[in-house]
Chain A
Amino acid sequence: MTEKEVRQAVKDAGVKLLESGLVQGTWGNISIRLDEKRMAVTPSAMDYIRMQPEDVVIVDIETLEYDSPVKPTSEKKIHAAIYRDRPEINAVIHSHPLCSSSVASARMEMPVMSEEMERLVGGSAKCGKYGMPSTKTLTNGAVEAMKDRNACFLANHGILACGKSIEEAFEVCRVMEDSSRAFVESEVMKAKGKDTFSMEDLFDVFYSKIK
């Protein structure tokens, strides 16, 4: 892919994430590896609709330097760290889908919920060590939790999903959200002893746990 095509692919992936409900507003960030040394990342604090391909920032994977008046996402470190650690990875999505964010808030390892999850994520989804946004703790925790996996939870934050292509990273993101929903639902059904449940059941379980 040429640089122009990569910029467009980053913009298109942002809009697709937004339209799929896997991210809201300016939250989350996306990158595609341009070559061995560079990645194309989303800009900081700009929503995906307003963002233009020329706003996508080309960042050096080793030094994090960039030559653009537009600031790259503040989470560029985490993207670069994944590319450095995983040469086979060409796209990274950091997002905050609703159900995945719930599991991330529990800082739990999610077991394999489906064959699709096993195939796309590569096993259970671990949770990286908690760290404030843009910190080394968050980055190192994510790299560790992503070992042998294509996704992980970022504690109290969201998820990181990667793939050999942006399309694959998007699919990983989607399966993490589907699996997270199934994970929560299985806990409600287990607590209520039912095969299906209503919102009333869900709140019953919640109220019983906050007593």
Chain B
Amino acid sequence: MENKFIKQLLEYCAILENDKLTEVGDCISLRAKGGIYITDATKAMKDMTADDVKFITEGANEIEKLHFAIYNAKEDINAIIMNHATYCVGVAKKCKKLYAVLDDMAQIVGRTAKVAASYDEDVVVNTLKGRDACLIKNGGVIATGRTLDEAHTGSLVLEKGAKAYVEATILGNAVKIGVIDAFIMRTVYKLKYSKKDQSAKLAEMEE
């Protein structure tokens, strides 16, 4: 019988490749009973096969240890996407935070996405406190979610938000979403809007 975790991971490797949101060194994982399924970070997403996905119960290298540290710190998540996207990488080079200038980022990620100083697991876990995603200085993006779909949405929204922030700044006027508006939108999204779609996706995963 085909392993549903491996199937899903390969499906999202292809999606990330298609979105042009990835480069070699990126990897994605899913929480499973007793451990995690994780893709090989040395392989390009487009070349990933079932043989490149392994089930592990502890981290053998820095990337695997980082995934375990994030899952241990965030009990509500089941998926992690670590990727590189052009605008997020560009913003993370010079900014401490990516501000939401689009309300979908305020809803799905929050008013800001912080930039972690490095991939060090304590630094990343601390940066992700109370948040579903962050950027890494001179690195890429880490997005988490209840499902791979949710983590992928976070990653997409971050890149779209980064592009909007960069380009609106170039146009001369990047208008940030206000604190109160962002809080209301995020709360409504978490309590109501995402629930229906993610419940369906979780049910699909458990079938």
Contacts and interface: CB of A to CB of B under 8 A. Distances in A.
A24 B167 CA distance: 19
Interface in B162-199: 163-175, 177, 181, 184-185, 193-194, 196-197
Contacts of A187: 170-172
A183 B170 CA distance: 10
Contact of A156 (B86, B102, B156): B102
B153 A133 contact: no
Given A156-B177, A202-B166, A133 B185 contact: yes
B104 A106 contact: no
B73 interface: no
Where chain B touches its partner, the secondary structure class is helix
Given A45-B196, A105-B101, A210-B94, A184 B160 contact: no
B95 interface: yes
Given A46-B197, A105-B102, A132 B163 contact: no
Contact of B174 (A26, A105, A130, A183): A105
B195 to A, nearest CB: 8
A25 B157 CA distance: 11
A156 B175 contact: yes
B104 A27 contact: yes
Contact of B171 (A25, A96, A106, A132): A106
Given A102-B167, A184-B170, A203-B90, A45 B175 contact: no
Given A107-B173, A108-B173, A155-B175, A132 B184 contact: yes
Contact of A205 (B102, B170, B174): B170
Given A102-B168, A106-B171, A24 B156 contact: yes
A192 to B, nearest CB: 11
A133 B95 contact: no
A202 B175 contact: no
B23 interface: no
Contacts of A101: 102, 160, 163-164
Interface string A34-50: 00000000001111001
A108 B197 contact: no
Interface string A193-204: 000000100110
A206 B197 contact: no
Contacts of A106: 167-168, 171-175
B103 interface: yes
Contacts of B153: 25
B130 to A, nearest CB: 22
Given A47-B197, A157-B102, A210-B95, A98 B163 contact: yes
A103 interface: yes
Interface of B: 86, 90, 93-95, 101-104, 153, 156, 160, 163-175, 177, 181, 184-185, 193-194, 196-197, 200
The 7 closest A-B pairs by CB, nearest first: A102-B167, A105-B101, A105-B168, A106-B168, A106-B171, A105-B164, A106-B173
18 contacts: A24-B156, A46-B197, A98-B164, A101-B163, A103-B167, A105-B164, A105-B174, A106-B168, A106-B172, A106-B175, A107-B173, A132-B103, A156-B103, A184-B167, A187-B170, A187-B171, A188-B170, A206-B90
